[in-house]
Amino acid sequence: MKRLLTLSLLLNLVLAGMVWWRGRHEAPIPRQPRGAVGEPAARGETTRGVARVTRFAPAVAAPDTPWGRIESRDPAKLIANLRALGCPEQTIRDIVAFRVARRYREQVLATEVAAARARDYSHFENPGAYWDRHYSRLELREQMIAEIEDLFGRNDSWLQVVIGPTYRDDREYLPVDKRRQVRELDLRYRRLSQELESRGIAGTLDAEATARLAELQRQKQAELAQILSPAEQEDYLYRESPAAQYVRQHLPQAKSEAEFRVIVKVAAETGMDPSSDSGLNARYGIEPADPAVAKAAADKEAEFQRRLQEALGADRVAEQEAQKQAEAKRARLQEQQRHEQQERARLATIAESVGVSADAANQFLDRIKERQPELQTKFTELERTLTGTPEEKQKQMEATIKAEMEKQAVEIMGEKGRDFVQKAMDHGH
């Protein structure tokens, strides 16, 4: 027995030693290098594609280290030095793109910090100041993109630089330099439109502002025509114009590319854009502030429908309308299901907090759903008999609903049902 214990203790020692050793020598994490390691390039060959020289503060590296000798404030020089080491191209792109991006992000951060410290918590920030910073950030991002694209030549968009050739850009139909011009144009007009829209009262624009917005769109199209060739303009029209966006967002799926193009053409000619949905306010119960705007929108939509019938035929338009209704119905059902799931999850949390199971909360909700028509009638009848101020009526109604809910909850959950209902009502259910 004594011998066995000695042996066991010895084994303990050996095992403990192995555990210690293993802890010191952690398991390797296998890696597949991201790109082929290149032959070191001659320095003269490594600056290809660099269209402009920019500067960034090098990341901190001790100057007497090997890395310190390849560091440079000039990204183009750093690229050249990395290529001279035979560093894989994708790794060079990762290093430089993130360094450039971090430099820009530092600027954004500094601006945001200054803005946060300049305001106290008693009031919201002036929306104008917020939007100014927002667009400054987007402009900085444009500069950053241009810098990254210039550093690596103009054949890849900036995200292709970072993510690699598998990244697909929605604007691939345009050369990289034109994509940049279109992006800059988009940004400028987005800012102008936003300034106009922010003056809209309660989410709607008056007739004058609506007309100015349409004028901005026309100006933008005119500027686009200066940048894009006729073929590129046509591509732009079908892929990303406001008319194309309207068709994709508000109409059912076209049967074919050819049909889609016909519809977009009609939408463009009748001035439709993603905001052209005269039924939108009605769906959300918002009465348009300016009846003239509402009438103009309805007239425009009617004209679009008329022209669409001419182009596609009445039968196809009717088919589309039926499809639209079916899609809307499906969306409503999905929304209801989602809402119910959320409601069940919330009630389950409340149930748990009062010591009742989630199953009981589900049973309660099922019971209420089952009795909904009957309860609805009862409450509607009651509403007619209430007297007093609106606040008093509201209170009476709340008390009646609460009593009814408590009755159901107590039947399922026992006395804890009262706490459950109280808490649910406190949380606005």
Partner 1 sequence: MSLLANLALAAWLVRPASSTTAAVSASSTNRTTPPVALAQPGATQSETANAVASNPPPPFLWSAIESADYRQYIANLRAVGCPEQTIRDIVATELCALYRQRAGAIWQPRKREYWQKPSSSDRPNPDQTKQLQALEKERDAVLHDLLGGHYREQELANALFLQLGSSERQLLFLPEDKRAAALEVLGDADVDTRVMELFNQGQYSREKEARLFDEKLKLLAKVLSPAELEEFRLRNSTDAQMLRAELRYFDCTPEEFKQIFDAHEASQGKVRTNDLLNRGPATEQIRELFGEERAKEYERVTDMEYQQARQSVDAYGLPVELADQAWQISHEARAAADQIAKDTTRPAAARQQQVQALQEQADRRLREVLGEKASVAVRRDLRELLGLTKSNIKP
Please report, as residue ranges, which positions from 12 to 31 form the binding site for partner 1 (by CB under 8 A).
Answer: 12, 15-16, 18-19, 22, 26-31
Q: Which of 1, 2, 3, 5 binds partner 1 (CB under 8 A)?
A: 5
Binding mask 194-213 for partner 1 (x = CB under 8 A): -----xxxx-x-x-x-----
Residue closer to partner 1 by CB (options 29, 231) is 29
Site residues for partner 1, window 351-390 (CB under 8 A)?
A: 384, 389-390
Site residues for partner 1, window 118-157 (CB under 8 A)?
A: 120-124, 137, 140-141, 144
**CB of residue 406 to partner 1, shortest distance in Å:** 18
Maximum distance among all Cα pairs of the chain, rounded to whole angstroms? 103
Q: Collapsing DSSP states into helix, strand and coil, what is residue 356?
A: coil
Residue closer to partner 1 by CB (options 43, 190) is 43
Contact call for residue 342 and partner 1 (CB under 8 A): yes
Report the candidate in 37, 164, 151 with the shortest Cα–Cα distance to residue 88: 37
CA–CA distance, 155 with 149 (Å, rounded to integer): 8
Residue closer to partner 1 by CB (options 98, 131) is 98
Q: Which of 42, 315, 374, 380 binds partner 1 (CB under 8 A)?
A: 42
Site residues for partner 1, window 74-93 (CB under 8 A)?
A: 81-82, 84-88, 91
Contact call for residue 49 and partner 1 (CB under 8 A): no
Q: CB under 8 A: which stretch of 94-102, 186-194, 218-226, 403-411 binds partner 1?
A: 94-102
Binding mask 310-339 for partner 1 (x = CB under 8 A): ---------------------x--x---x-
CA–CA distance, 153 with 104 (Å, rounded to integer): 20
Q: Compute the half-sphere exposure of residue 318: CA atoms within 13 Å on the CB side of its CA.
A: 3
Q: Which of 269, 287, 321, 411 binds partner 1 (CB under 8 A)?
A: 287
Contact call for residue 411 and partner 1 (CB under 8 A): no
Distances from the Cα of 33 to the Cα of 66, 142, 157, 159, angstroms: 21, 31, 23, 20
Whether the CB-CB separation of 135 and 206 falls below 8 Å is answered with no
| Cα angle, residue 218 at apex, residues 213 and 222 outer, rounded to 5° | 145
Q: Which of 117, 226, 231, 315 binds partner 1 (CB under 8 A)?
A: 117
Contact call for residue 104 and partner 1 (CB under 8 A): yes
Token pair, residue 374, equals 């009957």
CA–CA distance, 341 with 329 (Å, rounded to integer): 18
Residue 55 has a CB neighbour count (10 Å cut-off) of 12
Q: Which of 1, 39, 315, 373 binds partner 1 (CB under 8 A)?
A: 39
**Cβ density class 1-15: b for 16+ within 10 Å, e for less:** eeeeeeeeeeeeeee
